[in-house]
Amino acid sequence: MDQVKSSGTVTHINDQGSRHLSQEAIEKLIQQSQEAKQHAYCPYSKFRVGAALLTMDNTVFRGCNVENACYNLGVCAERNAISKAVSEGYRSFKAIAISSDLKDQFISPCGGCRQFIREFGLNCDVYLSKPDGSHRKMTVDELLPVSFGPEELDMKKVFSSP
């Protein structure tokens, strides 16, 4: 059976499946993103967003959006969650769930967050959710088709002479 246990800010979802999550694990990941949303600091937009990122060893890192009076310095929930995981040594992820207060539409990551998620591979499932817990599963490739990633930096290049 899946369960969630929390130790401080790090949570674990025990899922019996490998890469494919059980329905119960998906629901718990979405719940974690909704809980993260409660901590959003968004005095300007009043648009709360939460994210919950699931690592390959079933550790969950949560993030929320943090705005700034200098608007372009704000940080999205997805980037916060990923940065927390990376700062703890994680580089591979199973899934990320995103939540907001949008009632009639699934929340989708902004373009910058799509690229940020893409940085760590195309195999991460992305769960777009609504406050009632309903969700839509998408792949990174669906969200960011014909994407640019770290692999392109290693490809053969043509250099012109000066």
Q: Is 77 annotated as a binding residue?
A: no
DSSP string, 27-91: HHHHHHHHHHHTT-B-TTT---EEEEEEETTSEEEEEE-B--SSGGG-B-HHHHHHHHHHHTT--
**How far apart are alpha carbons 142 and 35 in whole angstroms?**
26
Q: What's the CA gap between 12 and 16, in Å, rounded?
A: 12
- Annotated ligand binding at 35? The verdict is no
The answer to whether 58 is a known ligand-binding residue is no
Which residue is associated with the tokens 């079933």?
58
Rounded CA-CA distance 31/50 in Å is 10
Residue type at 118?
Answer: R
71 is in an annotated binding site: yes
Q: Report whether 123 belongs to an annotated binding site.
A: no
Question: Does the annotation flag 67 for ligand binding?
Answer: yes
Is 124 annotated as contributing to ligand binding? no
Please check if 69 is assigned to a binding site: yes
Q: Is there a catalytic annotation at residue 142?
A: no
39's CB contacts (< 8 A; 6+ apart) are 50, 64
Query: Catalytic residue among 78, 119, 151, 152, which?
Result: 78
Give the residue ranges of the annotated binding site: 65-71, 76, 110, 113
Give the residue ranges of the annotated binding site for Zn(2+): 76, 110, 113
User: What are the residue numbers of the active site?
Assistant: 78
Give the residue ranges of the annotated binding site for substrate: 65-71
